[in-house]
Amino acid sequence: MGKVLVAYASKHHSTAEIAEAIAAELRIQGLDADCTDVSADTVTGYDAVILGSAVYAGRWLKDAHRFLKHHRDDLVRIPFWIFSSGPVGENVEEDLAENSNWLEPHKVLDLAESIGLRGHTVFAGRMPTDPHGFIEKSMVKRTPEELRDARDWDAIRRWADDVAAALAASSGTTAAPSQH
């Protein structure tokens, strides 16, 4: 397998950190992975793409949705996956398991599936460390500090390992054994 692009849209850098962890894990698995903000706006030269976005009010960030729409003709020819990040707080696991508001937004998922999406997932997120405006500041203030970062780094690495294994299987190579 050649190069993998991990592209993301992130408002407060939490999704960027998830994307960076995915790219790092792909590299451990022996893949050549680049990680960049969707503003780089290219898939040229990549053999696979992972696209992620933060979710706010049940929606992907506009730049991520725009990237998906803009590159649909390229993505239909290569393997690609999507991920979302968002939920935090006391009941994050239940929210992920039961609350469809945290699933990839239906418009995004429908578009991605029409292009040939290989898989998708939702990761827990992190409260902004630099909240702006009344709503963000209020959310952070009302959330206990120990619940402000719900990201599960092991789950993120396992998902990246699954992607690496799928890419290895499709190219007829073997992924490196997991380090976890």
CA–CA gap between residue 62 and residue 177 (Å, rounded): 37
Q: Which of 38-47, 84-93, 164-173 holds the top average pLDDT?
A: 38-47
For each of the domains in the chain, give its residue range(s) and CATH number, in order of start: 3-171 (3.40.50.360)
- Cα 68 to Cα 133, 147, 162, 179: the distances in Å are 29, 31, 22, 31
pTM of the shown model: 0.85
State the amino acid at position 72 in one-letter form. R
61 phi, psi to nearest 5 deg: -65, 145
Return the residue matching tokens 């393997």.
79
Q: H or E segment at 33? A: strand 32-37
The tens digit of pLDDT for each residue in 108-131 reads 889 999 999 999 998 888 877 787
Return the residue matching tokens 């009344």.
134
- Cα 103 to Cα 10, 12, 58: the distances in Å are 17, 20, 8
The tens digit of pLDDT for each residue in 56-79 reads 877 899 999 999 999 999 999 999
